[in-house]
Amino acid sequence: MRSYFDYVDKKLGLSKDVSLNTRVSEASFNEGANEWVLNTDEKGQYRAKFIVLCTGFASKPYQPEIKGLETFNGVASHTALWPQEGVDFTNKRVGVIGTGASGIQVAQEASKVASHVTVFQRTPNMYLPMGQETYSKADNVAMKNELPDRFKRRAETFGGFDMDLIPTSGLDVSDEEREQTFERLWAAGGFSFWLGNFHDIFSNETVNRAAYDFWLKKTRARIKDPILAEKLAPLEPPHPYGVKRPSLEQWYFDIFNQDNATLVSLLDESINEIVPEGIVTTKGTHNFDIIAFATGFDAVTGGLTSINIVGTDGTTLKEKWAQGVRSHLGLATTSFPNMLVSYGPQAPTGFCNGPSSAEYQGECVIETLLHMRDNMYSKFDVASEAENHWRSHVMELAAATLFPKADSWYMGANIPGKPKEMLMYPGGLPAYLNEFRECVTNGFRGFEFSK
């Protein structure tokens, strides 16, 4: 990845415009000069006519407060703050807290060499087989030929991928056809059994349950011990299938068929504290050399609200959004003039292939800035009715789905005290881009420009 980033940088000459290792701590708008003043921790003050916040959806790690963490004798790290030189698991006793994408990657890798891996699971994740393949040179050439078409298709699909949800309802096909479809999607691997499934998998309980039962059948076939099977893949789902992000696994279920891996369900025993030797639960002490906190992020809004951004009415973004997110198209928010957001809340973001979401929304940002330049505007703000309307629209779309039935980061529900609300735009990338196009053709409806 790093050599690819270097290549892109050289090709496009980006780094001359980038100040690395610079944390923006504060931002406030100077109304007299119509410009933002940014304070950084390391490199002093910057002034800018516009700010575009591209802080990503997972840049603020969340680590639960557990008593005694500082007393631990071994290595303890959040996965997002992992030591750059790596951590050697060889012959070590490894504890992993969390079973999302990060947790299972740590568990899978550690299980190859660790003396023991113990995974602490709060909610079973509905993992899908990643389906890694090794491509030959000829495969690569063939794929490169397909790239222009595949890239183009991204804007036409719900999740910004080159596959899409099936337009037919999962109820309008025979049981046999549904099963065949599920088999085909399963064999395709990756997210196919999620974002390539029947479109009403996210809104119809019956279709959703059929998908869960199929997942259960495939998954349970890989787990030998029936007690373990019930923990990893319970007969009754903890929440509807796919409304929490399914992680992609390679050999995760198989590690528990080895002697050196244990799954601790936090439904059976909960964590009391950390001591120098390891983790104390309600059932005893688990001794560790390494503890990985794979406990996720204050997702989507956390990267934005951790900067002290002060709006024109003196309210910070954090204060404003403590009552729930309000934005116009996920791009801008009232009283924060000349500030645009990409890949943040109330946009396709977490329901979308990341690069597609960032690139297409990036184009919306550029179009807005060009509109200002072409009309010689020096300031924009957002009408409060526009952000209230967009919020209601997002909430209405969400209410018609099964997403609110899970305590996921999509819903802000993984962080204690954060309002539980849909943080994504649940209408899919094409509908989102249509909404933006409608805004533009109606004179950038909702934006208020001034010279």
Residues 6+ apart with CB under 8 A from 443: none
Shorter beta-carbon distance to ligand NA7: residue 123 or 368: 123
Shorter beta-carbon distance to ligand NA7: residue 97 or 243: 97
The two structure tokens encoding residue 11: 């090709």
Residue 273, SS3 per DSSP: strand
Taking CB under 6 A as the criterion, the residue among 37, 52, 59, 64 binding ligand NA7 is 64
The stretch near ligand NA7 (CB under 6 A) out of 209-217, 229-237, 288-296, 315-323 is 288-296
Q: Minimum distance from CB of 401 to ligand NA7 (Å)?
A: 18
Residues 240-269 that bind ligand NA7 (CB under 6 A): 245, 266
Q: Minimum distance from CB of 125 to ligand NA7 (Å)?
A: 6
Taking CB under 6 A as the criterion, the residue among 55, 111, 118, 123 binding ligand NA7 is 123
Residues 291-310 that bind ligand NA7 (CB under 6 A): 294-296
Residues that contact ligand NA7, how many (by CB under 6 A): 20
The stretch near ligand NA7 (CB under 6 A) out of 109-117, 180-188, 200-208, 289-297 is 289-297
The stretch near ligand NA7 (CB under 6 A) out of 100-108, 145-153, 167-175, 301-309 is 100-108
Closest CA to 195 of 226, 154, 231: 154
Shorter beta-carbon distance to ligand NA7: residue 215 or 380: 215
| Cβ-based neighbour number of residue 169 at 10 Å | 15
Do the Cβ atoms of 292 and 96 come closer than 8 Å? Answer: yes
The two structure tokens encoding residue 68: 């005694």
The stretch near ligand NA7 (CB under 6 A) out of 107-115, 119-127, 272-280, 360-368 is 119-127
Residues in the chain: 451
Q: 82 to each of 52, 85, 107, 168, how far by Cα in Å?
A: 28, 9, 14, 44
The two structure tokens encoding residue 80: 């997002």
Do the Cβ atoms of 100 and 79 come closer than 8 Å? Answer: no
Residue 277, SS3 per DSSP: coil
Q: Minimum distance from CB of 172 to ligand NA7 (Å)?
A: 31
Which position's Cβ is nearest ligand NA7? Answer: 100
Shorter beta-carbon distance to ligand NA7: residue 407 or 435: 407
Residues 414-443 that bind ligand NA7 (CB under 6 A): 414
Establish if 55 lies at the interface with ligand NA7 (CB under 6 A): no
Establish if 412 lies at the interface with ligand NA7 (CB under 6 A): no
Q: Which residues of 134-160 are buried (b: 16+ CB within 10 A; e: fewer)?
A: eeeeeeeeeeeeeeeeeeeebeebbbb
Residues 211-240 that bind ligand NA7 (CB under 6 A): none
| Cβ-based neighbour number of residue 162 at 10 Å | 18
Laid out side by side, the sheet with 24-30 consists of: 45-48, 35-40, 24-30, 308-310
Taking CB under 6 A as the criterion, the residue among 60, 93, 102, 302 binding ligand NA7 is 102
Taking CB under 6 A as the criterion, the residue among 27, 101, 201, 402 binding ligand NA7 is 101
Q: Minimum distance from CB of 100 to ligand NA7 (Å)?
A: 2
Do the Cβ atoms of 274 and 71 come closer than 8 Å? Answer: yes
Do the Cβ atoms of 295 and 78 come closer than 8 Å? Answer: yes
Establish if 97 lies at the interface with ligand NA7 (CB under 6 A): yes
Residue 359, SS3 per DSSP: helix
Closest CA to 94 of 322, 236, 288: 288
Shorter beta-carbon distance to ligand NA7: residue 24 or 248: 248
Residues 6+ apart with CB under 8 A from 278: 72, 74, 93, 95, 285, 286, 287, 288, 291
Q: Minimum distance from CB of 258 to ligand NA7 (Å)?
A: 21
Residues 6+ apart with CB under 8 A from 356: 154, 155, 159, 160, 161, 348, 429
Q: Minimum distance from CB of 120 to ligand NA7 (Å)?
A: 6
Shorter beta-carbon distance to ligand NA7: residue 181 or 342: 342
Shorter beta-carbon distance to ligand NA7: residue 157 or 414: 414
Pairing label, strands 290-293, 75-78? parallel
Do the Cβ atoms of 309 and 94 come closer than 8 Å? Answer: no
Shorter beta-carbon distance to ligand NA7: residue 223 or 291: 291
Do the Cβ atoms of 421 and 403 come closer than 8 Å? Answer: no
Taking CB under 6 A as the rule, which mask of x and - marks residues 175-214 in contact with ligand NA7? Answer: ----------------------------------------
Q: Minimum distance from CB of 21 to ligand NA7 (Å)?
A: 23
The two structure tokens encoding residue 425: 């735009």
Where on the chain is the footprint of ligand NA7 (CB under 6 A)? 58, 64, 79, 97-103, 120, 122-123, 245, 266, 294-296, 409, 414
